[in-house]
Amino acid sequence: MRRLLIIGCGDVALRALPLLRRRYRIYALTHSQERAPVLRAQGVLPIAGNLDEPSTLRGLAGIAHDVLHCAPPPSHGSCDSRTAHLIAALARAKSLPQQLVYISTSGVYGDCHGAWVEETQPLRPETARAGRRVDAEHRLRQWGQRSGVGICVLRAPGIYSELRLPLKRLREGTPALRAEDDAFTNHIHADDLARMAVAALSFSPACRIYNASDDSVLMMGDYFDLVADRFGLPRPPRVSRAEAGTRIAPALLSFMSESRRLSNQRIKRELGFQLCYPTVRDGIAAVAGGA
């Protein structure tokens, strides 16, 4: 049986496990002793280690045929030292992984002023966190080109699920932008992203990038209205962009300032991927029990 190493075994990776267990013996890196029993209960063999401490990663070399890398970069700096440490650890072995799938972010494109974005779009990250994702992608693709490891990058937009909805924000009455100032936003249900990761491990050619988005064409304020209506909460007040600067936290406002529409045609065409939740409306209806 093939062996798979998961780096960052959080919600999305756990959702992929029922499909992955059919073809893999699965290992997962964890720095938490409390997390190990949770992983074992899911049929995963935990490996103790910390991406921020390279000396703890020696056990990763040669352990797996394939790798699913879901770990975020550090919260500071201009580079993704965690991905750099992972590459160094894997590269120690004579037997390298055949395929590595990395879940990145669509934030690497920056603000595209509402334009449609394909995977060939130049990268213009506008935040430090997106810049670290660009660094991770660059490191992985360069390593793949040098070593022959197949690298696939999934650029995911806003991930939502029953566990990841803006309910707290809605209850607190955080404003949204008025229609004339609003931005296009993109989404993917966590279950669909997990299935995309499995498809990429199975079928992606080497050195390929995919926009991991659903079919929705949605403004951000309309997304908040949709969630509010489904869960019986007040719709957020709408404010101008100028007023938003005084009422919305800078980190959130920067996210609301990037407008783009992701094309998902490549992942459908090349991997034959079919969405379980083609639109946010479909996904929210399922999350809310069809109410």
Mean pLDDT of each 10-residue bin along the chain, 291 residues long: 96 97 96 92 96 96 97 96 98 95 98 97 96 98 97 97 94 94 96 98 95 97 96 95 85 86 98 97 86 47
Q: Is residue 231 part of a domain?
A: no
Residue 252: the pLDDT is: 80
Give the count of beta carbons closer than 10 Å to the beta carbon of residue 32: 11
Among 91, 89, 125, residue whose Cα is nearest residue 106: 125
Residue 215: the pLDDT is: 98
Residue 59, beta-bridge partner list:
none
What residue numbers bound the domain in which 11 lies? 2-164+187-217+264-277
Q: Is residue 124 part of a domain?
A: yes
Q: Is residue 177 part of a domain?
A: no
**DSSP letter string, 178-190:** -GGG--EE-EEEH
Q: Is residue 251 part of a domain?
A: no
Q: Is residue 147 part of a domain?
A: yes
CA distances from 169 to 131, 164, 178, 235, 248 (A): 26, 12, 17, 11, 11
Residue 291: the pLDDT is: 47
Residue 66, beta-bridge partner list:
4, 99
Q: Which pTM does this prediction carry? A: 0.96
Q: Is residue 178 part of a domain?
A: no
**For the chain, what is the domain count?**
1
Q: Is residue 99 part of a domain?
A: yes
Q: Is residue 87 part of a domain?
A: yes
Residue 254: the pLDDT is: 81
CATH number (domain holding residue 27) = 3.40.50.720
Question: Using an 8 Å Cβ cutoff, are 256 and 238 in contact?
Answer: no
